[in-house]
Chains A and B, each alone.
Chain A
Amino acid sequence: MEAKTKDLWVFVETNEDGTAKNVGIELLTPGKMMAGKQGGALVAVVIGSGVDEAVKAASEHGADKVIVVDGPEYKHYSTDAYAIALCTLVEKYGPTSMLIGATNNGRDLGPRVSCRLHTGLTADCTALDIDEETGNVAWTRPAFGGNLMATIICPNHRPQIGTVRPGVFKKSDVTAANAEIVKEDVHVADDQIRTQVLEIIKDMGGENVDLEGAEIIISGGRGVGGPEGFEPIKALAAELGATVGASRAAVDAGWIAHAHQVGQTGKTVGPKLYIACGISGAIQHLAGMSGSDVVVAINKDPDAPIFDVADYGVVGNLFEVLPVLVDEIKKARS
């Protein structure tokens, strides 16, 4: 389709309580820069149920306009309802570009929408730029398990769409909320939603494993030696409000659930701080965490490849290092 405007859209995914997921607000930061270069407005698209908080957040973080679709059918994410809503809006307004957070839902929705609109999609980007002359976004993303970076363009189709990893961009400072709010009524009938949530099984008593949205992750690998080896990691995580991650070796050994796995066959994460404990740093693991701002590695083996990507590398026994670190943090806080 042809673009009808020079606007850049950011799809702001919402939680069931109507708040915005972090990544949607983060993407308003590069969105502002790109909309400026495109010569259009920055538009946040908020879909969900009871989403006033999310609309306010988008408005406070730089959106010129917020398009809102609010209805009970959007409370729990479904591919069908969200694809109908988003495609309806794109067809009506015709943006030039669109950013979607590369969460599980974002990566479920993006290809469905881009295929329906018959346009290009670039997945899981870690850098964005724009060619002012052509208006083409340069979407940069890792491939081959992080061994290679590729820059992709979508020259002849609009909107050009990309999913962008959480944590790559930082939220802007809060400003006065003065975005224009546009409410759109897109109703999706029950029988148009062809999937049904039958049951929700929380991971081991509601333990938080939102690795993709985590600001701090403490991960354990083969070096933790067993399920009880995760105790000092959990203690540090509790102290820092962090999420517990794991390498494939620890998951395959059955020491911790797969939901905790970071890496190629697990989650791709981009926290502000990543602490790798007893993880050697196989390329598959690095592929999942190399987008972290600061990496700390604790490992007995001074030649472990994890030290190649670490900002701070401690050569030592994690069972001796972690408790002292916890004590130091407690001391500093008291």
Chain B
Amino acid sequence: MNILVCVKQVPDTTEIKIDPVKNTLIRDGVPSIVNPFDGYALEAAARIKDKNPDTKIVVLSMGPPQATAALKECLAIAADKAYLVSGRTFGGSDTLATSYILYNAVKKVEELEGAKFDAIFCGKQAIDGDTAQVGPELAEHLGYPQVTYGLEAELDGDTLKVHKEVEEGVEVIGVKFPCLVTYTKPAWDPRYPTIKRKMAANKAEIPVLGDDAFPDIDTTRIGLKGSPTNVKKTFVPQKKTGGVKIKEEDSAASAKKLFELLSAASII
């Protein structure tokens, strides 16, 4: 069983502050982390490997050279091999262009590894862009079936059984290989790396697939120019103002006051 896990290095959005004068995001000094949803995807792969030790887990990331740090973290946690896609011509890609580059990278890594991936696992979305588009788009490029909002997956012969979060609860979806699954947050925390794995990961060489790694790629479909969507403007949302604070002599009085205000405004 070969599993490819796609990961993205993202700024820790909880650490982002707003410049009060310029009203822009302050990105300097914000720590970079492995996108948490990708961590759940890696954990799902690791759990399959726990039960099926002959499983090989390869991680793939696209980003600047610093993204090797995220890949090393994945190696320390559970991955066996890592590849980085990094090139100038890839910069500025929207989700469609990114998924097209990743599609080319999947084919290239399969060639280098000498084996096809049975399953590709991704996080549901990255916490910086929050689009949830790259996973399904990659599945479409590959022509694979997809299952989104996965919580966990188990092997059952030639079928992957995925627990999928839906509005009404959980569905168990059966899908044949090859397939692509995106993961959301399960009820458990991902495992931590061991010291031994951490040391090995630090020494690991991570092959970089650069601009010239994909001679057959259609260059009109990558980068800023190859992206159908572009960002027209960004702005910091206005904070809500003028909220009513209620603090009467005791909680019961406050509750009554709240009820009066809500019913006067026809809210309840």
Residues in chain A within 8 A of chain B (CB atoms): 79-80, 103-104, 107-108, 110-112, 114-116, 118-124, 138, 141-157, 194-203, 208-213, 216, 240, 257-259, 261, 264-266, 272-273, 282-284, 290, 294-296, 302, 307-317, 320-325, 328-329, 332
What's the least CB distance linking A198 to chain B, in Å? 4
Specify the chain A residue showing the minimal Cβ separation from B187. A258
Alpha-carbon distance A80/B179, docked complex (angstroms): 13
Residues of A within 8 A of B165 (CB): 104, 258-259
Interface residues on B, range: 35 or more
Q: For the complex of A and B, list the 7 residue pairs with the smallest distance between their C-beta atoms, beginning with the closest.
A: A120-B228, A320-B251, A324-B255, A194-B145, A120-B229, A145-B13, A111-B136
Grouping DSSP codes into helix (H, G, I), strand (E, B) and loop, the A interface class, with mixed when no group exceeds half, is: mixed
What's the least CB distance linking B190 to chain A, in Å? 12
Residues of B within 8 A of A201 (CB): 169-172
Alpha-carbon distance A215/B172, docked complex (angstroms): 28
Specify the chain B residue showing the minimal Cβ separation from A310. B243
B83 within 8 A of A: no
Once A196-B174, A284-B14 are accepted as A-B contacts, the answer to whether A115 and B96 lie under 8 Å apart by CB is yes
- A to B contact number (C-beta, < 8 Å): 262
Pair B255/A314 contact, Cβ less than 8 Å:
yes
Residues of A within 8 A of B268 (CB): 216, 240, 273, 329
Residues of A within 8 A of B187 (CB): 257-258
Q: Which of B61-69, B73-81, B232-240 contacts A (4 or more CB under 8 A)?
A: B232-240
Residues of A within 8 A of B255 (CB): 314, 316, 320-325, 328
B128 within 8 A of A: yes
Once A213-B167, A315-B254 are accepted as A-B contacts, the answer to whether A325 and B259 lie under 8 Å apart by CB is yes
Alpha-carbon distance A307/B239, docked complex (angstroms): 11
Residues in chain B within 8 A of chain A (CB atoms): 11, 13-14, 16, 18, 25, 36-37, 94-96, 99, 127-137, 139-141, 145-149, 161, 165-176, 179, 184-187, 227-237, 239-240, 243-247, 250-252, 254-256, 258-259, 261-263, 265, 267-268
Grouping DSSP codes into helix (H, G, I), strand (E, B) and loop, the B interface class, with mixed when no group exceeds half, is: mixed
Alpha-carbon distance A197/B171, docked complex (angstroms): 7
Once A103-B167, A203-B170, A314-B258 are accepted as A-B contacts, the answer to whether A265 and B185 lie under 8 Å apart by CB is yes
Residues of B within 8 A of A290 (CB): 237
Question: Would you list 12 pairs from A and B whose C-beta atoms are within 8 A, ordered by A residue?
Answer: A120-B229, A123-B133, A141-B130, A147-B25, A155-B230, A208-B168, A240-B268, A265-B185, A266-B185, A312-B261, A320-B250, A325-B259
What's the least CB distance linking A320 to chain B, in Å? 3
Pair A314/B235 contact, Cβ less than 8 Å:
no
Once A108-B136, A112-B146, A195-B175 are accepted as A-B contacts, the answer to whether A321 and B232 lie under 8 Å apart by CB is no
Pair B137/A316 contact, Cβ less than 8 Å:
no
Pair A200/B171 contact, Cβ less than 8 Å:
yes
Residues of B within 8 A of A284 (CB): 13-14
Specify the chain A residue showing the minimal Cβ separation from B235. A149
Alpha-carbon distance A261/B11, docked complex (angstroms): 22
Alpha-carbon distance A67/B121, docked complex (angstroms): 35
Once A123-B130, A124-B131, A143-B128 are accepted as A-B contacts, the answer to whether A324 and B256 lie under 8 Å apart by CB is yes
Pair B13/A112 contact, Cβ less than 8 Å:
no
Pair B229/A212 contact, Cβ less than 8 Å:
no
Pair A264/B13 contact, Cβ less than 8 Å:
yes
Residues of A within 8 A of B234 (CB): 143, 148-151
What's the least CB distance linking A153 to chain B, in Å? 5
Once A145-B13, A324-B256 are accepted as A-B contacts, the answer to whether A153 and B18 lie under 8 Å apart by CB is no
Alpha-carbon distance A150/B173, docked complex (angstroms): 35
Residues of B within 8 A of A197 (CB): 171-174
Pair B137/A309 contact, Cβ less than 8 Å:
no
- 18 more contacts with CB within 8 A, not counting A123-B131, A194-B145, A314-B247, are A118-B228, A120-B229, A122-B229, A123-B133, A144-B127, A149-B234, A195-B173, A200-B170, A208-B168, A210-B167, A212-B167, A265-B37, A273-B267, A307-B243, A311-B240, A312-B258, A313-B244, A324-B255
Once A213-B167, A302-B247 are accepted as A-B contacts, the answer to whether A121 and B148 lie under 8 Å apart by CB is no
Pair A150/B185 contact, Cβ less than 8 Å:
no
What's the least CB distance linking B164 to chain A, in Å? 9
Pair A80/B145 contact, Cβ less than 8 Å:
yes
Pair B232/A111 contact, Cβ less than 8 Å:
no
What's the least CB distance linking A307 to chain B, in Å? 7
Specify the chain A residue showing the minimal Cβ separation from B167. A210
Pair B146/A79 contact, Cβ less than 8 Å:
yes
Residues of B within 8 A of A283 (CB): 13-14
Pair A315/B13 contact, Cβ less than 8 Å:
no
Alpha-carbon distance A313/B252, docked complex (angstroms): 14
Alpha-carbon distance A138/B149, docked complex (angstroms): 28
Residues of A within 8 A of B134 (CB): 111
Once A111-B140, A195-B145 are accepted as A-B contacts, the answer to whether A314 and B133 lie under 8 Å apart by CB is no
